[in-house]
Structure 1
Amino acid sequence: MKNKYEPSLKEKAVRLSYERGEIRSIEREFGITRSCLGRWRKKFAYLKLDPKDAIIVELNKKIKDSELTLEILKNGSKYVAQGKIMTKRFIENNSSKYSIVRMCKVLQMSPSAYYQRKKQEISDKQARIILLKEEVLSVYYEFKKTYGYLKITKELQLRGFKVGEGQIKVYMRMLGLRKKAKTRFRITTDSIHNHYVAPNILNRKFTVSEPATAWVSDITYIATIKGFLYLTIVLDLFDRKIVGWSLSDRMSIKETTLPAWQMAVQNRAITKDLIFHSDRGVQYANKMFTKTLDSYKFVRRSMSRKQNHNDNAVSESFFANFKRELINGNKLITREQMRVEVYEYIENWYNKKRRHSFLGYQSIEEFNRVYYTYLNLNRA
């Protein structure tokens, strides 16, 4: 049975169709078909607007159309900036408010791409996994490919991710990520001399409770395009910080151990007994360096036993990491370039940003911040 509509309703529908300049909303509002409205418009043709009114209606339509476009842009632009997945989600969440075709046009996504992406949409769990894998990759390359799953897990946890070591280990395996392997390096120690050799006072006690109570030192070589450079370091066992270092073209005392020591005492004051431990190399046993250490009343000298590198294991560990993280696998560069690289590694990477397993996977700066905060609270 056909629906019967009052003439007044038909006239109203026809008048509105001309005023609005479109018929889709009229169809929905009055519950009629397009063919039905077409018949009514023919019957009530006298209701058609005159040219002047038609122009006004058309201008109003364009204004509303522009306002709607601006509204979609205002609400949807931040989602467009986050990529196609987030753009699709905005369109889907606002389909009851705006037409999908209009949103796709304004946000520059084709309707076919929208519906195809909707079919292929991943679950929230899959999205989290993809995001986490991207973060694992980001941390891996940010930390120079030197972090294994333990350190990457700790870094992600500090960034707010709730992840476990086993989970990150699996993702690293899936992504084919491996930290750089450690390699053996050439020994630079010249222990054949007639200088005084100190006993091993440190005796492998590599953990101390306060800064400037035990320092260890060592020297290694670095190959460049034109010969070697020699890196001397002084490391505080308290926080594993490199408090003093020097980089030289030659192995003389004035270019290796002496400037490294001078930098160390400038950076960290000696206020109580300090054990200074090294190997038996001539750079540490010679009279000039011995006299320098003896001028500090709180300093006690300590040296590794003959042919026993484990007595200075912390220094050797630093050099192993240094070679792995900065040198190995990289092309030879000039001495000038290497000086810049070493400075960046020690001062801006190792002493500030690198996470140390010995410090509970904290950076040296984080560890010291906690230590001195605790110290000040106890003094208050």
Structure 2
Amino acid sequence: MPDATPDTAVPRRTALDAVHRALGATMTDFAGWDMPLRYGSERDEHHAVRTRAGLFDLSHMGEIAVTGPQAGELLDYALVGHLSALAPGRARYTMICAADGGILDDLIVYRLAEQEYLVVANAANAQTVLDALGERQAGFDAAVRDDRDAYALLAVQGPEAAGVLASLTDADLDGLKYYAGLPGTVAGVSALIARTGYTGEDGFELFSAPGDAERLWQALTEAGADAGLVPCGLSCRDTLRLEAGMPLYGHELTRATTPFDAGLGRVVKFGKTANGGRFVGREALEAAAERTAASAPRTLVGLVAEGRRVPRAGFPVVAADGTPVGEVTSGAPSPTLARPIAMAYVDAAHAEPGTSGVAVDIRGSLEPYEVVALPFYKRQR
């Protein structure tokens, strides 16, 4: 389960708050929002997404509109990706970094039209991203707008997701590629339909007006009844993304981590030519790329337990002689593998898949683990 952000303020509630409470959801304060953690068994919710379909409320995510003749050039400067090259109707995973190369957040950017982009930030970092884009906006013929109150975000994920959604829309779902989006109507509700997700399964994320969220939720629930669709909370979303080897900000990605440290240097596009090739953090990221190429840094790997004890973020990874060789970033019981799993940064000498003889120090007990390649789970296509 992602770490909740401590906050003395009253948590915000999504447009579906009453629906979640009527369903008996266990609610939690997450990044300043009151969100459903689970509705019943998080293991059952997890298995539903892997085998049938699950329905999520993700309205806590932070939407930021970037518009204008130089919107693409602004994003090329502000982010590490080449967003001006993104075709309308497509989406891209990218990051926003500080001048020293540290990751401020990982993002999905949708190009809605020639001069219109939608940047989707993690809830805990939305204000940071908004502020950074505003600061980096100077000199560009583009506008940055906080659209967090303009959207509700629902996700339907799992092997039956396409069939459930197809029964409610005439949008061309078969022609909608992964990391693409198109405007459409779902159960009479106007929405941006995106083939994106954070579960390792096929699925869709639906951006609608908050006032339409309950109608959309109920329509998806009814349409998915025969397919076994169930409501799902943040807890199973975390185990799903962990099995799929997807990084989580605050765990695998941090302000002290560069994309190259995280093994995600591919998202940094040094070859983009807008703004004379300048973008925030370029010099630091070039240096990080050189360091990574010159020496073997710690590598993000998967760990699978031989026993039943579950590692948690921050637990040390040690060699057979007890020497520290890494640190766990995320850990949980895997419902799919039926064993505890973890992601961890470990020294290169211990990062080869199949490596045994490493252990996780779980409160003073050295529990044996095997190093495996990520992801732990990959769906059959």
- TM-score, structure 2 as length reference: 0.24
- TM-score, structure 1 as length reference: 0.25
Which of the two has greater strand per residue? 2
More contact order relative to length (CA 8 Å, sep ≥ 6): 2
> If you compute each CA radius of gyration, which structure gives the higher value, 1 or 2?
1
